[in-house]
A and B are shown apart, each in its own frame.
Chain A
Amino acid sequence: MNVCSCRSWKGVLKVRKKLLLLQAFFKKEFILFRRYFHNSIGGMITLYIIFLLMVGGFQGMRALTGLGGDTLEGLVVGYVLWLFMLTTYQDVWYTLRSEAQEGTLEQLYMSAHGFGWVIGAKVAAGFFTNLIMVAVLLAAALLTTGVTVNLDLLSLLPLVIGTLLGSAGIGFAIGGITLVLKRIDSYTQMVQFLLIALVAAPAGRVVWMRFLPCSYGSALINRVMVGGQNLTQIGLGNVAALFLVGLGHLLAGYAVYKACERKAMIQGTLGHY
């Protein structure tokens, strides 16, 4: 065996191990979803009730002020997108917190892949569980409100992924801070409101807001779902900009996380909670 084929064989083994990691998290997510199905359904009902309250509040405002027009579609899209961002953020932050709390974080740190890959696999596995939940809630929201939106999945998928990079970045940053400061749940809860502001930010009109996490993605997704555009009409440049900004936020969040991880390792508090 020559050096070249030996290297490629090692590469194949590495990829195989990463796939095993991904498979392990998929299986775990699936088992827990199935085993605690009633709990999952309960969570979805709670989120649906929140949506109903939002719609009620929105319609009340419209009746009082005469404002609104076709923005109920925007509300549905914003709500569903916020939900997706929230679950992605929680997949990172909450995983770090709960693994530390349960005592398994240190085991994950000792994996053969490095912790970055481990949490990446967890987020990827969580993406699909979240996707199912978001799809169900979107269907419920559309049926409840009677509005219609453009569900061009081919256009939406890259935009959603680009948008979620930002919320994963926020999750890493908050997760890292949690590793160092520990019990800061009351502050981390505030992030869900920050995510609402990011979804609602008018990044389509105000250029500097495009650099905020998730905001530009939210504007582009609105153009597809509410405005009826497709990816070609949105343009490759805009999609590339979305991914660049998203990756920037992800890397910045990961950098904050790594700095906090280093501090926790120096303090000896990595697995404590």
Chain B
Amino acid sequence: MIKVESLEKIYPGRKGQAAVKAVDRISFEVQEGELLGFLGPNGAGKTTTVKMLCGLIRPNSGRIFINGIDLIQRRIAALQEVSAVLEGNRNIYWRLTAQENLEFFAAIRGLKPSGISSDIDYYLELFNLTEKRNVEARKLSRGMQQKLAIAVALISQSKVVLLDEPTLGLDVQASYEIRQLLKRIVKEQGRTVILTTHDMNVVQDTCQRVIIVNEGRIAANDSVDNLMDLFKVKVYRINVQGGLTAEQREALLGMEEAVIEEETSARTSISVRLEESQVLYRVIGILESGQSLIESIDQEQNNFERVFLQILEGGPQGA
């Protein structure tokens, strides 16, 4: 559905500043019906890439194909297949109601409002906005505005939906609702969705595949599950009653794999990164030597945030 070939963007330097290479010859493909996460730290080139996919930023070189149509050569034709939410809740007219926004944006995408009245009802219902259909967007909560902006993107019936930080600034409940809606849209409508986000919960919860960019280059391009497996490191947390002896502390501090997370007179917590089984036995041996009473040994869950940080730090090669 989307094919990107050697895409490069260099922002010209302003007022004597040097030019900035925001995107450095990246290539990737996105299949129809896929929900792809596009991640990276601030300034990594995520938004620039998404805006190039929307035809809003002109690349220095490279090609973009949307459903086989060259976006740079045939911009308007290619953009028939794309809709986007780029500025969160700012992508809608605040002085129009929810329904008026949907009707207006459908019309500018060439759809007759009377022909899509059932679609409007469907999206208002889906996004839990039916009761707010006649309320001006400026009077809606931020979460509702964000949902309306996504509904506006979906009403155009485009095959590709690009979402830049769709859950930014939302509370836990609203963020969760949007995640569930995105999954539903991909599953039920077969749309291709690319979302950029800083929220790793969103990625872990919704995305089938992620592309991680850093300094304009792709640092990882794989399924969430594969990346989780690749970076799987078993971490155990050992809780001990009371504090440690000076010898125990010295021995543990000498081990790279062990970290004393917390130490009080009542309780000590040590995390152990298990790269080989001997490590755990050595730590237990140190604790036994001081006759410390082990309260519990728990395995910590690996999460995508840790995977993401490890990739940015240049973790396992080939990610």
Q: List residues of A whose CB falls within 8 A of some B CB.
A: 17, 20-21, 23-24, 27-28, 31-32, 35-36, 102-104, 106-114, 118, 262, 265-268, 270-271
Contact = CB atoms under 8 A, between A and B. Distances in A.
A234 to B, nearest CB: 39
A32 B94 CA distance: 11
A50 B26 CA distance: 58
B56 interface: yes
Contacts of A113: 76, 108, 110
B110 A104 contact: no
Interface residues on B, range: 35 or more
A106 B152 CA distance: 13
Contacts of B293: none
Contacts of B91: 103-104, 106-107
Given A20-B107, A104-B91, A110 B51 contact: no
10 pairs of A and B residues whose beta carbons are closest in the complex: A103-B90, A24-B107, A103-B87, A112-B110, A17-B110, A111-B108, A265-B58, A268-B57, A20-B107, A112-B109
A109 B55 contact: yes
Nearest to A121: B108
B259 to A, nearest CB: 42
Interface string B51-85: 10011111000000000000000001001101110
A110 B79 contact: yes
A262 B58 CA distance: 8
Contacts of B100: 28, 31
A28 B100 CA distance: 8
A32 B56 contact: no
Given A28-B96, A106-B86, A110-B82, A267 B12 contact: yes
Contact of B86 (A17, A35, A271): A271
Contacts of A262: 58
A139 B113 CA distance: 37
A104 to B, nearest CB: 6
B110 A20 contact: yes
A24 B104 contact: yes
Contacts of B83: 110
Contacts of B110: 17, 20-21, 111-113
B107 A21 contact: yes
A64 B54 CA distance: 63
A262 B87 CA distance: 21
Given A104-B91, A104-B93, A266-B12, A118 B108 contact: yes
Contact of B51 (A107, A266, A268): A268
Contacts of B80: 112
Interface SS majority for chain A: helix
B12 A112 contact: no
A16 to B, nearest CB: 8
A30 to B, nearest CB: 11
A271 B108 contact: no
A24 B155 CA distance: 15
Contact of A36 (B56, B90, B95): B95
Contact of A23 (B84, B86, B107, B109): B107
B279 to A, nearest CB: 49
A196 B235 CA distance: 76
A25 to B, nearest CB: 8
A267 B79 CA distance: 21
Contacts of A35: 95
Contacts of A110: 54-56, 79, 82-84
Contacts of A28: 93, 96, 100, 104
A32 B136 CA distance: 11
Given A103-B91, A268-B22, A271-B56, 9 more contacts: A21-B108, A23-B107, A24-B104, A106-B54, A110-B55, A110-B79, A266-B12, A270-B56, A271-B86
28 contacts: A20-B111, A21-B107, A24-B103, A24-B107, A24-B113, A27-B103, A28-B96, A28-B100, A32-B96, A103-B91, A104-B92, A104-B93, A106-B54, A106-B84, A106-B91, A107-B108, A107-B152, A109-B56, A110-B55, A110-B79, A112-B109, A113-B110, A262-B58, A265-B58, A268-B51, A270-B56, A271-B86, A271-B87
B92 to A, nearest CB: 7
B95 A20 contact: no
Contact of B58 (A21, A107, A266): A266
Contacts of A20: 107, 110-112
Contacts of A108: 108
B77 to A, nearest CB: 9
Contacts of B92: 104
Interface in B1-50: 9, 11-12, 14, 22, 48
A103 B9 CA distance: 23
A27 B104 contact: yes
Given A114-B76, A270-B56, A270-B57, A106 B87 contact: yes
Nearest to A99: B93
Nearest to A32: B95
Nearest to B94: A102
B231 interface: no
A237 to B, nearest CB: 38
Contacts of A106: 51, 54, 56, 84, 86-87, 91
A81 B82 CA distance: 42
